[in-house]
Structure 1
Amino acid sequence: MKNNLSIVLLLGIALSATSCATIFTGTKDKIAFNSNPEGAVVFHKGVEKCSTPCTAEITRSLGKQTVTFEKEGFNKKEVKLTKTFNPVSLLNIILGGAIGIGIDAATGSLTKYSPKKYDVELEAKQ
């Protein structure tokens, strides 16, 4: 009886601490970037991610996220990354994981980037 109670208690703690979206979908999304003309460098939070056409992993966050496209002879172009609700985080509610919701919020996993592809038209400098 005592052993069964221990198992139930441990299972309850594990389920209440579950951060489902973080565990199942991670904290980053792969996003494809294209530009016209090609060869623009993509920056996220001031860090160079790739040169178009390319795919880069972008860390999720609840705050506003932007990427900047830069190419010599062209104006910089800043693009806001759009997000949608990550339905996997609902498992926290079903499993009663208030701690899990907090972890998913802290890691940005309550949301996911959508769309997963951005096409940008760069304007030549005058």
Structure 2
Amino acid sequence: MKLKTYFVVGVVASSLFLQGCGTVVRGTSEDIKINVEPKHAKITSTSAHSCVGPCVINVSRKKEFTLTASAPGYQTQVVDVETRVSGKGAAGMAGNILVGGIVGVGVDAVSGATLDHYPNPVTFNLKRGKGTRKLTPAEAAMISKAKSPTS
């Protein structure tokens, strides 16, 4: 009976060491919150998501994509959403180095668990008129901060 218990404990411990800390704790996908004015604007993405704002889409952490917001009578806006190593992702990577070893580092790197999307949330403020305006990720992040209720 003891041999079976040791075997189970060994299998569980091994599986924990073989998985990346970030992959286990943070997951391999992330919710992207999208705010838009006017509220009826259609949101499309190059990651095959679409919705009517405001909305939330779930995207693989390692996938960069473009969001487009459009509404009749308004200028279309486009934002590239990039990936960056986040503070939490870096902490998971450090945990791998201390506990999980090189295998965990590799798993997190391949899965994208160390990454976050930027900007997140994405805020569109469509202007009346025609045409398209492409915002940089930094501009979109500034708009999101200016629109957040905590600022």
Could you state the TM-score of these two structures normalised by the residue count of structure 1?
0.73
Instruction: Name the counterpart of 2:130.
Output: 125
Change (3 A) 1:88 1:96: closer
Aligned length: 123
Residue correspondence of structure 1 range 22-61 to structure 2 within 5 A = 22-61=23-62
Cα distance in 2 for partners of 1:8, 1:46 equals: 40
Q: Does 1:74 align with 2:79?
A: no
Q: Which runs of 5+ in 2 are unaligned?
A: 132-151
Residues 66 and 80 in structure 2, CA contact (< 8 A), matched pair in contact too: yes
| Equivalent position amino acid for 2:130 in 1 | K
Closer, same or farther in 2 for the Cα pair 1:44/1:96, shift >3 Å? same
- Paired residue type of 1:40: A
Could you state the TM-score of these two structures normalised by the residue count of structure 2? 0.63
**How far, CA to CA, are the matches of 2:119 and 2:43 in structure 1?**
17
**1:21 equivalenced with 2:25 (yes/no):** no
Cα RMSD (Å):
2.9
1:125 and 1:20, CA in 2 relative to 1: closer, same or farther beyond 3 A?
same
Maintained 8 Å contact 2:26/2:113: yes
State the one-letter code of the partner of 2:74: F
Q: Deviations over 1:46-73 (max 9, x none)?
A: 5233211112212211x54332223233
What's the secondary structure of 1:98's corresponding residue?
A: helix
What is the one-letter code of the residue matched to 2:42? V
Q: For 2:113 and 2:26, locate their aligned partners in 1 and report how far apart those are by CA, in whole Å.
A: 8
> How far is 1:84 from its partner?
4.0
Cα deviation code 1:3-53 (max 9, x no counterpart): 6x9789757743541211111111122222111222222223252332111
Contact 2:30 2:61 in 1 (8 A): yes
Residues in 2 aligned to 1:59 and 1:49: alpha-carbon distance in whole angstroms? 15
Shift of residue 79, structure 1, vs aligned partner: 1.1
